[in-house]
Chain A
Amino acid sequence: ELKVEQNPLFLSMQEGKNYTIYCNYSTTSDRLYWYRQDPGKSLESLFVLLSNGAVKQEGRLMASLDTKARLSTLHITAAVHDLSATYFCAVDSAEGAQKLVFGQGTRLTINP
């Protein structure tokens, strides 16, 4: 059974600092997704990572995937308050239609 573990689960940081959220998963998969969720809101797609070594960047966020280590990272550069949210990684466990297994989420709070 596929398990997806994120750490840390809670992260409080100051504006301007850098930090990394880690996502480990237990079985082979080449498809990993990062989502952002604001309180009471839906899931916003951030990145789709489809191959080993994939790296994608959007603004202050950069995501990477190492399928051999079964590890993805979400790196935040020079954090700003607007990035405060809960971030989920999700791994696709099925062939054909998606069956995403989500991590527990990382609640990120960025303080001025």
Chain B
Amino acid sequence: EPEVTQTPSHQVTQMGQEVILRCVPISNHLYFYWYRQILGQKVEFLVSFYNNEISEKSEIFDDQFSVERPDGSNFTLKIRSTKLEDSAMYFCASGRDSNTEAFFGQGTRLTVV
């Protein structure tokens, strides 16, 4: 069964460093998303991406964040200068269209020290 895959599963980085989280969405999906979940809290929307551009973004998704689909298969989230409060589980998701459910990857646990 096709699934969304994310790498790495766990990333530890020093404050101020740049990180890139990678995702391979399900191959025939057109909509891509990033969400995050701070430990023990609810899941929060970051950004949606369709037709090679951002469709929606939340107030969390400030200038430190960017997304890219560099090669038609990968979907990346870059955090330019990480802060301690960026520590969270980051989930990538993809969907066939905007009315069907999004399928989530297994997540990347980002720890900023």
Contacts and interface: CB of A to CB of B under 8 A. Distances in A.
Interface residues of B, number: 27
Nearest to A88: B43
Chain B interface, DSSP helix/strand/loop, else mixed: strand
Interface of A: 31, 33, 35, 41-45, 48, 50, 88, 90, 94, 96-105
A98 B31 contact: yes
Nearest to A90: B43
Interface string B81-107: 000000000010101001111111111
Interface of B: 31, 33, 35, 41-45, 48-50, 55-56, 58, 91, 93, 95, 98-107
Contact of B42 (A41, A97, A98, A104): A104
B48 A98 contact: yes
A102 B44 contact: yes
A42 B98 contact: no
Contacts of B44: 102
Given A97-B48, A98-B31, A103 B101 contact: no
B42 A100 contact: no
A96 B99 contact: no
